[in-house]
Structure 1
Amino acid sequence: MQPMVFPEVDFASALVTDLFALERVRVDFRTEHLEDPLGLELRRLFQGLTSVMSARIEGNRTTVADVVAEARRAAATGQPAADAVREILQLEQATDYMDELAAHGRLSLTHGLIRELHQLAVQGLEREGDEHPGSYRTIPVGIAGASHVPPAPGSVQADMDQLLEFANKEVPAQHQLLQIALVHHRFVWIHPFANGNGRVSRLLTYAMLSNQGYTSRSAARPLNPTAVFGADRQSYYDHLAGADSLSPEGVLAWAGYVIHGLKDDMDRVSRLAAPRFISEEVVGPSVNAALAAGELTETEADVIYAVARQGKAKAGDLEDVIKGSPSNRSHRLRRMVESGLLQKMSGPGRYVVSLHRNVLTKHVVRRLNQLDMLPAILRD
């Protein structure tokens, strides 16, 4: 395999301008200490949407509403979710796994991690599975719609050795996003697994962004490459193909596409840094839509909105919203927790709003789309 090297970058190029803008994002992430429960809950929803996007890039047309309904059915019955939904849920699990590892320090980019991510992503799937989850391929493969033919199976291990050496190299700050973009393309170029390469490449890119401080466990909207690639699926494939010759020009064009996409994505969702914007412009209209659809009672809607505005609330804070005795109030809140509309935090009886996998989810997604905060691949 041709050695992995950094292409020459013109200091006056748009790519460098985008790199400076994203460096400011990284500084913000490193200095923020957000503990807003509503922002953290929106982050959890966005991580789930990212998994839907990644599956859609591979042709899975499952909707967000389908995922919510099927995940709830599976949890209630103890039966496995449908195959297409399992594909998405497993990507969520893989992302959660990386976040857990990152919480304890820098992620180690190793063969073991990549194989583990592959196993988490494809294990047990019928349509998009792999006969050997967690194992590099031992057969030749092709890439649908691409002229590039991935390396023979005998060179996969050595090629991945080189990729990981490059991925783990300590480089100056101005080269780090270039490094991430180059690793993503070269991983897809190698195609180390029989199936699931696209999904694992996006998980690996997320891991590298996390390592370099371009995402935050406390941000309402984490910087995630899948949102960029999902903005225009064909453009993603075209730019990947344009770099397949490994020419400096093709590789630089690919890197520019990734970095500009990340910058545009952050510009689009920067408003989500403000808790009041989330409660007033995202949650409020979503609650009204669910109420109009008959999916919430007026009391439930009032409680959700009140808790969203406060961030977290105790039962006593809601006496103007839930009339009656304290026991009646506790009973109503307990039922909302059981239905997934609220979560009860550990500690002295505080409640927070839940946006993930309940009747609010589809309305929140529609509202985010109205606010132009979702890529085109999620619009259906």
Structure 2
Amino acid sequence: MQPIVFPHIPFDGSLASALFDLERVRVDFRTERLADPLTLELRRLFQGLTSIMSARIEGNRTTVADVIAETRRAQSTGEDAQDAVREILQLEEATRYIDRLVEEETLRISHKLVRDLHQLSVNGLEREGDPHPGSYRTTPVAISGARHIPPEPAAIQADMDQLIDFANQDVLSQQQLIQVALVHHRFVWIHPFANGNGRVSRLLTYAMLTNRGYTSPSDARPLNPTAVFGADRQAYYDNLAVADSLSEDGTLAWCHYMIRGLRDDLFSVTQLSDRLFIADEVFAPALNAAVAGGDVKESDANVLYEVARRGKCKPGDLRDVLPGSPSSRSHKLKKLLDANLLLKVRNPAGYGIGLWQNQLTIHVVRRLDELGMLPSVLKD
């Protein structure tokens, strides 16, 4: 494989400007923040949506409503979820795996990480699985719709060695996003697995962004490349193809596409760092829509909005919206917990809002779409 090298970047151009904008965000993410239950729950919702996006880029047409309904069915019956939904749930687990490694400060780009992400993503799947989860391919492959022919199996180990060495190089801060972009493209170019390469490439890119401080576990909206690639699926494939020649111009065009997309995605990240914006501009309209649609009772909506505005509540904080004895209040709160509309949180103990996989989820997603915070790949 041709060595991976950094392209020359004109510092008076738009790519350099996007890099500076993203560097400012990284500085903000490094500022210590208190973990707010509402922003953390919105982050969990976005990570779930990201898994749906990644599967959709590969042709899985499962909707948010499908995921919620099928997950509930599987949980209630004890059966496995249907194959298309299981693909999404496994991508969620792979993302959580990355986040755990980051939290433990043990994340390092390695053959093991790449193989683990593949194992988690494809194991047991029928339509989008791989007969050898976690193993590099031993047969030639072709990429559907692409002119590029990936390397022969005998070259994969050496090519991946080079990729991983490059991914772990200590480089100047202004080069780190370029490094991430180059690793993403070259991984897809190598196509080390028989199937699942696109999904693993996006997980690997998220891992590199997180490890370099471009997203924060205490922020509601993680900066995730899948949102960029999902904005225009065909543009993603077209820009990957432009770089397949490994030429300076093609490589620079790919870097410009990816980094400009990340910069444009910053607007959502910035707005959703404000809990009151989430409560008033995202959650309240979604809650009103849920009440109007008969999915949530108005009395329950009053409780949920109060919890959202406060971020976290103890039962005694809800006397005004839940009058009555402490025992009757606890009984009503338990019903909201059982419906996953409330969650128990710790440090200190209390209640927070649940947003993912309940009757509010679809309304929150629609509201995020109204605010222009979702890529087109989720619209149908």
- TM-score normalized by the length of structure 1: 0.99
Show the 5 A alignment for 1:326-365: 326-346=326-346, 349-365=349-365
Tell me the equivalent position of 2:43: 43
Tell me the equivalent position of 1:373: 373
Letter in 1 for 2:195: N
Tell me the equivalent position of 2:280: 280
User: Structure 2 CA distance, aligned partners of 1:167 and 1:349?
Assistant: 41
Show the 5 A alignment for 1:96-111: 96-111=96-111
User: Structure 2 CA distance, aligned partners of 1:268 and 1:36?
Assistant: 18
Q: Does 1:148 align with 2:148?
A: yes
Distance 1:358 1:259, change over 3 A: same
Q: CA deviation at 1:269?
A: 3.7
Q: CA deviation at 1:349?
A: 4.8
User: Structure 2 CA distance, aligned partners of 1:33 and 1:276?
Assistant: 15
Choose 351-360 or 320-329, whichever is displaced more. 320-329
Show the 5 A alignment for 1:216-231: 216-231=216-231
User: Structure 1 CA distance, aligned partners of 2:100 and 2:246?
Assistant: 34
Q: Is contact 2:214–2:223 with CA below 8 Å preserved after alignment?
A: yes
User: Structure 2 CA distance, aligned partners of 1:4 and 1:269?
Assistant: 31
Show the 5 A alignment for 1:1-380: 1-346=1-346, 349-380=349-380
User: Structure 2 CA distance, aligned partners of 1:38 and 1:330?
Assistant: 21
Deviations 1:205-244 (A, max 9, x none): 0000011100110011010000000000000000000000
Letter in 2 for 1:151: P
CA RMSD of aligned residues (A): 0.9
Q: Is contact 2:56–2:62 with CA below 8 Å preserved after alignment?
A: yes
Deviations 1:91-124 (A, max 9, x none): 0000001000100115111101100000000000
Q: Is contact 2:220–2:269 with CA below 8 Å preserved after alignment?
A: no
Deviations 1:20-69 (A, max 9, x none): 00000000000131311100100000000000000000000000111111
Q: Is contact 1:269–1:373 with CA below 8 Å preserved after alignment?
A: no
Q: CA deviation at 1:193?
A: 0.1
Q: Is contact 1:315–1:349 with CA below 8 Å preserved after alignment?
A: no
Choose 69-78 or 346-355, whichever is displaced more. 346-355
User: Structure 2 CA distance, aligned partners of 1:318 and 1:268?
Assistant: 31
Q: Which segments of 5 or more consecutive residues in structure 1 lack a partner in the other structure? A: none
User: Structure 1 CA distance, aligned partners of 2:154 and 2:37?
Assistant: 49
% identical aligned pairs: 65
Letter in 1 for 2:148: H
Once superposed, which parts of structure 1, at least 4 consecutive aligned residues long, lie more than 6 Å away?
none
Q: Which segments of 5 or more consecutive residues in structure 2 lack a partner in the other structure? A: none
Q: CA deviation at 1:346?
A: 3.3
Deviations 1:134-175 (A, max 9, x none): 000000000000000000001000000000010000000010
Aligned length: 380
Distance 1:117 1:16, change over 3 A: same
User: Structure 2 CA distance, aligned partners of 1:347 and 1:261?
Assistant: 37
